[in-house]
Amino acid sequence: MSFEGSYLWRLRQKVGHDLVLQPGAAVAAQREDGKVLFIRRGDNGVWALPGGAAEEGGSFARTAVDELREETGLVVEAADLIPIACFSDAERHTLHYPNGDVAHYFSMCFLVRRWEGEPIPDGEESLELAFGDPADPPQPFEDSTARVLELLLAYLRTGEFQVG
């Protein structure tokens, strides 16, 4: 779904650029070689993990499935999502968008190792896609997602759910 017409877009029509609290999800699609899929964002040109804000009636899992499909073309089943972390620290997860919007994200991060399709950028939310080492992501990299990668790497080392 494009931003225009989305729940967040409708909310922005009422509150303008003011801070909003936003549930969302991020997804690390990991190949057998350990590399994960990164997107180069359409709004600011930096690299990040696929993900985004929840829509009305959605869930963390539904958001992860939808955002991954929308931004990369990959199709996953909710049952294949592995919850690895939650993140909500205001200092790391408050985003300031180029248009002046401010959002503090409360999100779940999922790992997925099975999907259908080939990764293709949508040309709007994602301009380019690349598999890379989560310990050495493509640059420039989105600061808020850097913390998500720290959580992902901790999960991969320990197998334990992370909180950040």
Phi-psi region of 34 (alpha: psi -120 to 50; beta: other; left: phi over 0): left
Q: What pLDDT sits at residue 143?
A: 78
Asked if 74 and 120 touch (Cβ cutoff 8 Å), the reply is: no
CATH fold, domain 7-163, is Nucleoside Triphosphate Pyrophosphohydrolase (3.90.79)
Rounded distance, CA 164 to CA 148, Å? Answer: 8
| Domain ranges within the chain, ordered by starting residue | 7-163
- What is residue 97's predicted lDDT score, i.e. its pLDDT? 85
Ranges under pLDDT 50 in the chain: none
The pLDDT, as a whole number, for residue 145 is 83
Instruction: Give residue 128's Cα distance to chain centre.
Output: 15
- Spatial CA neighbour of 86 closest among 102, 70, 69, 63: 63
The pLDDT of residue 1 is 63
pTM of the model: 0.90
Task: Tell me the three state secondary structure of residue 151.
Answer: helix
pLDDT attached to residue 44: 87
